[in-house]
Structure 1
Amino acid sequence: MAINQSPEFQHIPQLTVAKKFCGEVPAVVGSFLHSNSKSTWFGKRAGPPPQTNRYSCRVLLNLRTSQPFEEVLEDLGQVLKMIGAKKMYTSSGQEVRSFSQLRNEFAEVDTFYLSNTPSLPVGALGPGVIPPSPARRSRSRLGGSVPDDLSKTARQRARSKSRPRVLYAPENELVRASSDYPLLDAMKEEPTRITIRGLRRTFYPPVHHPPVDNSPPDKKLSLFWVHGYRGIDSKRNLWVLPSGELLYYVAAVAVLYDREEEAQRHYTGHTEDIMCMEVHPSRELVGSGQRAGRDRKSQAHVRIWSTESLQTLYVFGMGELDSGVIAVAFSQLNGGSYILAVDAGRESILSVWQWQWGHLLGKVATLQEGIWGATFHPLDDNLLITHGKGHLAFWHRRKDGFFEKTDIIKPPSRTFVTCVQFEPDGDVITADSDGFITIYSVDADGAYFVRMEFEAHNKAIACLVMLSEGTLISGGEKDRKSRILRFNTNFSLFPPKQLPESAGGVRSIYPQRPGRNDGNIYVGTTRNNILEGSLQRRFNQVIFGHGKQLWALAAHPDDEVFATGGHDKYVALWRRHKLIWTSSVGYEIISLAFHPYGAALAAGSSEGHLVVINAENGATMLTIRVCGSPLNCVEFNQVGDMIAIGSQNGSIYLFRVSRDGFSYKKINKIRGSQPLTHLDWSSEGNFLQTVTIDFDLLFWDVKSLSPEKSPIAMKDVKWMTNNSTVGFLVAGMWNNRYYATPANTIIATASRTVAQDLIVSGDNDGYLRLFRYPCITPRAEFTEAKVYSGTLACVKFLYGNHSLVTVGGTDASLMIWELTEE
């Protein structure tokens, strides 16, 4: 179809698109006021009407679309580079108001006009064509200007059964379309609908977006470093291997840390959080038990693996253990051939395995609530000890696999036995929640009696470690004290050494050089730190971890540096595996953002305060009371002169920011009603998109300080980041067909690369998944890793997009991942 232009518009570009429409290709012409015209052509203003711009293209209409007619007009307007298309007209000036008119009354018409004005401008249809008045259109649907032959044909077509058509033609029709016109692929896309927690949500496609590739990325996720230590809710969780490496667990990862080489190795065989661990008597093998997850791949079980090769040697308990594994321990006398496990289920089943052969030697339901731990007696592989809340019992395993129980503490009892150790002669040493240490000996009849009892700490004792030459070290969880006890002819109790308050109480103690009695120890604390020192000198920090839940994470704009903030009221700055500084800010931090220049760090608190921190040294520069609700998300715009803060109360607070990022002035707030969780700025800084706690995608106009009620009007806005977990371009992360439980998977966090070719997500089951971007369909494939049992709270790509950082889980764990070639 030839398109003629007036000479004065010969430099205006044209867009030609082929779409099938009942055997014809209709032309759609856009007509709107010239951009240089500041006033309308009608009214009282004298003079000739302004010139109008005219673009044309050919489209293929198919009327089975689920979109309203008004939305289709907006889509066609965007093809014609027209903003806010409102009306469609025939060449004779008749307004088209519905799909049924296109199908019936105007079936033979192949040219239509679009306008973004309430009425068609004079001259828009060409010289001498005057748009009919509304009154004439109201009297007749066809109007008097429609030729009789066209009216007759239209009436005949209305009586006949017409082909159904929709705006976006079927794929087979597109293949047969005329090759004279390039296809506009975006126009064949329907809105995407996904179901989240039983509610369906609709997201509209942009006219242009990168091509969709459902294949998995050519990168894989490789765990590089694990920061922190699980001491907040664990039991014994610290050992030193013959290689000098520290061994401990965080989330579902066993960490082997070499201080001299400043390197880590990781055992990642577990699929859920590790609950307990024990080192084999050879100190070359480890047994570790995990909690149960929600799918079959994540059942509770015990794994035995090599500290040298990190290979799994044996797995047992799949389908037999219930909700988790409370305790594991190796036998001592026979060189660790047996291993015990205590189930976390209601019956607290104690089982003994000959793990090399996979034989279950016996099991018994202890029927004891509050079991805290279990172990073998060092001088008898058939004698097992369990302890916990009001409980200390010996279990003797007979040859037929049955167990005989002897209660050392007679129920009921308020004593909570927290840990057990043994003297060289086999006497049993226990510690309890009241700070007492008790020593049990055996009389001539084989009965146990209390030989000695004394108060060693003010409150609960968390660990007992027996060193050589009869030296015992105890650690207090509440009083933060460690002290030495020596068992000789003259029992000696030495003065305690107290840890700093910031480090927390004692969780685990282990000698730095096992076998040497030099007094140098490592201490794992209840605030997720590891210290080194002795009772004669001060303790130094080896590993720092946030002491409570960790949600806040921000990546530096132009360096491989990132910041974290936790409920422990600390903010920390890291350069990959190195800690740069920590700062106590006095508030629970739940959101973070770097200023675009990187010098300032904004932290949102659960109390409604915004804390501005100097990123160079961690000094607090400014504290602002924003509101009385948690500040769930904070983000600077691209140029850094404004910050948006999303609150639990549903409102967005806007502040003007100085060039250096250290001065703030409140502009206004945009009121909302649903709690906000994620926030993105548009590339030009005019709009915001946010995700609510119910996973609704909301848009906000920053200039007018009002919510944007039409999601269709926002579908072509470009966003600076993609923190939002819902939307058309990330819909494939939801209800994905390759998930184990698609309907139950809730995406908690997302991050997109600067190159916009990859996006990573974290969900409520602790899965980390890497997709290609855009990720639109549920057939999108991915690479994944699972190292958390709880929700993966936040993920961010670091500068350069070669690494990413994750925070979350139930133990404030922080992990760095590298993207490596497949």
Structure 2
Amino acid sequence: MSNLPTMGRVLDALAEHVRLSTAAAIRHLYAVDTYEEIKDPRMLENGQKYVAVGVEKVVKHGNYGQRPPPLNLSTKVENTKHQKLPPIKARYKKDGMNSTSGSEDGKKSEDEYRTRHKQKKERKEKENEAAIPTKPVSHKRAAKDKKSKNGSVTFNPETGMLRFYIRGRPISLHAPTNCDNYELDQVLPAPEETLKLEWVYGYRGKDCRSNMFYLPSGELVYHMAAVAVLYNVQTKTQRHYLDHTDDIKCLAVHPDQVTIVTGQVEGHAEKQGQPHVRIWSSDTLETLHVIGLKDFEIAVACVAFSRFDGGELLAAFDDDNDHTLLLYDWKNEKKLLQQKSCPDPICEVEFHPMENTVVACGKQQVLFFEIEDGQADKKMGLFEDNERPAFVVCLTFAENGDVVTGDTEGNIFVWSKDDRKVIKAIHDAHEGPVFGLARLPDGSFVSGGGRDGKIWQWDAEYNKQDLEIQVPEDFGPVRMLEPGPEGSIFIGTTENAIVHGTLGQLAKFDPLTQGHSDELWGIAVHPHNGQILTCAYDKHVYMWDPQTHALLWSKQLQEEAHSACIHPDGEVAVIGTRDAKWLVLDLLQNGQVIFEDTDGKEQIECVEFSPDGSRLAVGSRDNSVYLYNVTDSGHQFDRIGRCTGHSSYITHLDWSMDGQYIQTNSGDYELLYCKYWNKNVHIFLKKTPLSL
């Protein structure tokens, strides 16, 4: 509520009672009697008159809000910009005759008109009160409701209807049938049961970099959504850091290999929903420090602890237009530096291991920030005779302190730590971008290609070795490389998977976790074995085993998937897509498509089988629900009708236990009901439940 502009709150309050056809043009509202500007819905009073000031071109006499001189309606207004307007006359009708306010008859007619209007309004209010007996709302609750643009809540004990507002729209819901009375002020105790996060599937590799690290504890730390995950490679268990209020965008590990820093995007919480960084312990999962709540504008793009001094400093880049560099004494939660860096995106940041220098890479550049006396002296890396790539996307350091970078043109450049020049260029190191670089304990390097899916090893002199590893295409291109114990390596991919293996000529990689690489909207649980089916905009359907957390099988579709349900017999699943198609998959054949159909021309929002599996309801974005008879355990579908009545797209639907009734929600918060008839008819949805 507090996030809305002042005028927006007032208009939302007015919209509950009157129709405003020009609400978008209104900028100010003033009381006629006091000339006071209305800045809060609580200032509105019944029976009062207000003047709305908008963006229309009108004749203006000073600023409204100041008491003007007496207005003479018979005086013509002179204005060079606008056409001269005729005098304004108040007109009232009586006995078919028009009269003006300039005569005694006109004055008398005006008084009679106002009296009749007031009496009519009072009669209407009394009739409404008699016709709709409502439970009075307590003063405490009413005061709270006045602050909300959604208005007050009322309950009608005779009809059992609960009425409230969502974004200015009146919503009526039926209370449970066993509810004799509804106490609006009653606050029920919270349930004793709580939810505990068990497992996180996937890893954010599609659009994040340098965000997966192996710890001495034997755990791999990475992030997904708003959760930082600690995955134990040996025991195959997870621990979770859950204190972030929105998606984590970046992650770094302190030189002590215990302290972790994570940065998040802008969230929804009033206070800590602002972009900020959190520093926490990987041993206890305790938050140690929260930094930068008012320092970041968009999101924390990347973070890094200093190395030369044992990790006393923390550097972070904002994802704002200036990609601001911020430097902190994180233990004392003190900001040391805030400086604009450049208008182009920053992909990765690291502290130099031997000096107080921040090295960052991004669009067509490598930047060196020398920190001294509270200032950052920015210097550009010099490409010399080498063509600038579109993006420099990853970096690491050689044993002698030289900087090694990979870019989107497939190049690996080595930069001198002394003069910031390219001293060695390896062109076409990969076919396509070099997304991942990592230095191994023996001083050699490995690089990962984003298009060819290969991993190459280079010796300390940057000579390519015979070792070549091909990452299976199913896991996606390489995003990040992290050395593991005993010559092993962890690979994060752009398809949000993490695979683990040992470097060697016949290296085999096993997936540690996999996930969807685009928005996930459809999910369904198998009715018999508890397996979980998911589908997403990446055109993939996955079947998961919740016991082992393994991916059992996957199916790639031709369309982006949006919704899913499984037949009660457990043999088939229905997938709704974004292009009005819905598909039937054979679950016994690892998702083979056995049937498809199209309803309408818009996205299939939801699909649901009746409890006995004899019918299928398909909710579309065209505001309709399409009904089908289902036979042969979900292998045969015959359309029998269409339900209409919503004024917005279908968001959810479900069946009654006997399969005769459907209730549906829509995008404009409407709840409607319909009854199933076993014949080919056009069915209209109703606003009230149908009697059983």
TM-score, normalised via structure 2 length: 0.72
* Alignment partner, residue 551 of structure 1: 521
SS at 1:502 equivalent: helix
Q: Distance in 1 between matches of 2:625 and 2:545?
A: 31
Alpha carbons of structure 1 residues 220 and 318: separation in structure 2 relative to 1, 3 Å: same
Does 1:501 pair with 2:473? yes
Aligned ranges 1:356-755 → 2 under 5 Å: 356-380=331-355, 382-399=356-373, 401-409=374-382, 415-442=390-417, 446-454=418-426, 455-488=428-461, 491-494=463-466, 496-513=468-485, 516=486, 518=487, 520-533=488-501, 534-536=503-505, 537-577=507-547, 578-579=549-550, 581-586=552-557, 587-616=559-588, 618-620=590-592, 622-627=594-599, 628-670=601-643, 674-703=648-677, 705-708=681-684, 710-714=686-690
1:305 aligns with 2:280: yes
SS of equivalent to 2:508: strand
Aligned in 2, Cα 1:641/1:349: closer, same or farther, shift over 3 Å? same
Contact 1:275/1:326, CA 8 A, preserved across alignment: yes
Q: State the shift of 1:500 in Å.
A: 2.1
Query: Quick one: distance in 2 between partners of 1:270 and 1:580?
Result: 27
Q: Secondary structure at the match of 2:266?
A: coil
Aligned to 1:64: none
Q: Which residue of 1 aligns with 2:41?
A: none
- Contact map agreement 1:253 1:270 (CA 8 A) in 2: yes
Q: Is the 8 A contact 2:579 2:603 kept in 1?
A: yes
Per-residue CA deviation, residues 545-600 of structure 1 (Å, 9 max, x unaligned), is 11222100112335433221122222222332523522314232211112123333
Matched, 1:216 2:184: no
2:208 maps to 234
Task: Classify the secondary structure of the residue corresponding to 2:195.
Answer: strand
Aligned counterparts of 2:129 and 2:413: Cα–Cα separation in 1: 87
The gaps in structure 2 that reach 5 residues or longer are 1-122, 138-154
Rate the CA distance shift 1:164–1:209 in 2: closer, same or farther, 3 A: closer
1:635 is aligned with what amino acid?
A: E
Q: Is the 8 A contact 2:266 2:273 kept in 1?
A: yes
Measured after TM superposition, the shift of residue 402 of structure 1 is: 1.3
Deviation at residue 624 of structure 1 after TM alignment: 1.6
Conserved in 1, the CA contact under 8 Å of 2:643 and 2:685?
no
**Residues 662 and 447 (structure 1), Cα distance of their counterparts in 2 relative to 1, 3 Å cut:** same
Q: Deviations 1:228-255 (Å, cap 9, x if unpaired)?
A: 1111111112111112112110011000
Look up the match of 2:142.
Answer: none
How far, CA to CA, are the matches of 1:573 and 1:170 in structure 2? 50
1:388 Cα shift? Answer: 0.5
1:323 shift after superposition: 1.3
Alpha-carbon shift at residue 668 of structure 1 (Å): 3.4
1:582 is paired with a residue of what secondary structure?
Answer: strand
Q: Percent identity?
A: 31
Q: What is the DSSP-based 3-state SS (H/G/I as helix, E as strand, rest coil) of the residue aligned with 1:322?
A: coil
Contact 2:641 2:683 in 1 (8 A): no
Deviation at 1:354, TM superposition (A): 1.9
Does the alignment pair 1:331 with 2:306? yes
1:378, distance to aligned residue in structure 2 (A): 0.6
1:221 is paired with a residue of what secondary structure?
coil
Is 2:545–2:552's contact at 8 Å kept on the other side of the alignment?
A: no
Greater mean deviation of Cα atoms: 667-676 or 203-212:
203-212
Task: Tell me the equivalent position of 1:76.
Answer: none
* Alignment partner of 1:253 out of 227, 238, 243: 227
When the two chains are superposed, the root-mean-square deviation of aligned CA atoms in Å is 2.9
Which stretch shows the higher mean deviation, 237-246 or 247-256?
Answer: 237-246
Q: 2:172 aligns with which of 202, 207, 218?
A: 202
Query: Which whole-Å deviations, capped at 9, do the CAs of 1:310-356 have from their partners, x for residues lacking one?
Result: 11111211111221111111111221111111112222221222212
Rounded to whole Å, the distance in 1 between the matches of 2:211 and 2:562 is: 28
Distance in 1 between residues matched to 2:256 and 2:351, nearest whole Å: 16
Summarize deviations over 1:147-175 as a string: whole Å, max 9, x none: xxxxxxxxxxx9xx999745647579xxx
> By how many angstroms is 1:616 displaced?
4.3
1:318 and 2:293 are equivalent in the alignment = yes
Alpha-carbon distance between aligned partners in 2 of 1:331 and 1:256, rounded to the nearest angstrom: 23
Alignment of 1:757-776 (within 5 A): none
**C-alpha distance in structure 2 between counterparts of 1:243 and 1:319, whole Å:** 34
SS in 1 for 2:157: helix
1:428-483 Cα distance to aligned partner (Å, 9 max, x none): 111111110111125xxx42322110121122111210112221111122222211
Contact 2:481 2:491 in 1 (8 A): yes
Whether the aligned pair in 1 keeps the contact of 2:514 and 2:551 (CA below 8 Å) is: no
Distance apart, 1:671 and its partner CA: 5.0
Distance 1:163-1:315 versus aligned 2 partners, 3 A rule: closer
Tell me if structure 1 keeps the 8 A contact 2:383–2:421.
no
Structure 1 consecutive aligned stretches of length 4 or more whose deviation exceeds 6 Å:
161-164, 210-213
User: Comparing both chains, which one has the higher relative contact order based on Cα–Cα distances under 8 Å and sequence gaps of 6 or more?
Assistant: 1
AA paired with 2:630?
V
- CA–CA separation in structure 1 for the residues paired with 2:675 and 2:469: 59
* Distance in 1 (alpha carbons) for counterparts of 2:134 and 2:165: 26
Counterpart Cα distance in 1 of 2:581 and 2:684: 27
